[in-house]
Amino acid sequence: MRNNQDIDPRDDPEVKKLISNIDHVGKVVGIVKIQVFDDATGKLIHEQIDKNLITYGIRDVLGELLIQQSLLPAARTTAQLQVKELQMGTSNATPTRAQTTLQSVAAITKVLAPANVSKSSAGVYVFTVSMGVGEGIGTTFTEVGLFTNDGTMLSRQVHGDYTKGAGQTVQYTWTYVWT
């Protein structure tokens, strides 16, 4: 008798068939919107929006949140798995699902607070942070990632570059949509 822990269910031909027939239902899509405002006038001076890349890190985070330590002692705690922060960086290296960190040193890290997170409708969760007037001036930003308390990167986006100017605020809005 084989130990079920040694078997990858994705290797089973029937499981492969089921997976290949999955349509869009049950998928998660991440969308990042970046808006740059002139702080003096409040005028929007730059905006970009695009889907992000969901990394492999999210698989174990969601699984461990469902299972918890009572059933799997090696699972991380709920506190470790909670979404914690957005990190903004300066690399434009092509994102891959296997990446675990930004590809540059984080130039700015914004910790999320309850006021930064909302559930806008069933299956739609929004994280919003702002980079203030005095932060990141002169830095050309090209990447952003969403991280848990234990440092697991859930998603990464490489975006069109913008250089943060004096007198500007930047708002990042990260939306996850479960279909």
pLDDT tens figures, 68-93: 777 888 888 888 989 999 999 999 99
Nearest to residue 155, comparing CAs of 58, 88, 23, 34? Answer: 58
Q: Take residue 6 and report the two structure tokens written for it.
A: 């040694």
Q: Average pLDDT of 28-40?
A: 91
Confidence grade of residue 1 (pLDDT, cut at 50, 70, 90): very low
Residue 106 has pLDDT above 50, yes or no: yes
Residue 3: the pLDDT is 43
pTM: 0.83
Backbone φ, ψ for residue 68 (5° rounding): 65, 165
- Average pLDDT of the chain is 86
Residue 46 has pLDDT above 80, yes or no: yes
Considering only CA atoms, give the Rg of the chain. 19
Whether 30 contacts 174, CB under 8 Å: yes
Query: 73 in the Ramachandran plot: left (φ > 0), alpha (ψ -120 to 50) or beta?
Result: alpha
Side-by-side strand order, sheet with 153-163: 53-54, 153-163, 140-148, 83-89, 108-111
Residue 9: the pLDDT is 57
Residue 67 has pLDDT above 50, yes or no: yes
Residue 2: the pLDDT is 41
Residue 166 has pLDDT above 90, yes or no: yes
Residue 33: the pLDDT is 92
Residue 23: the pLDDT is 57
Q: Take residue 160 and report the two structure tokens written for it.
A: 């069109």
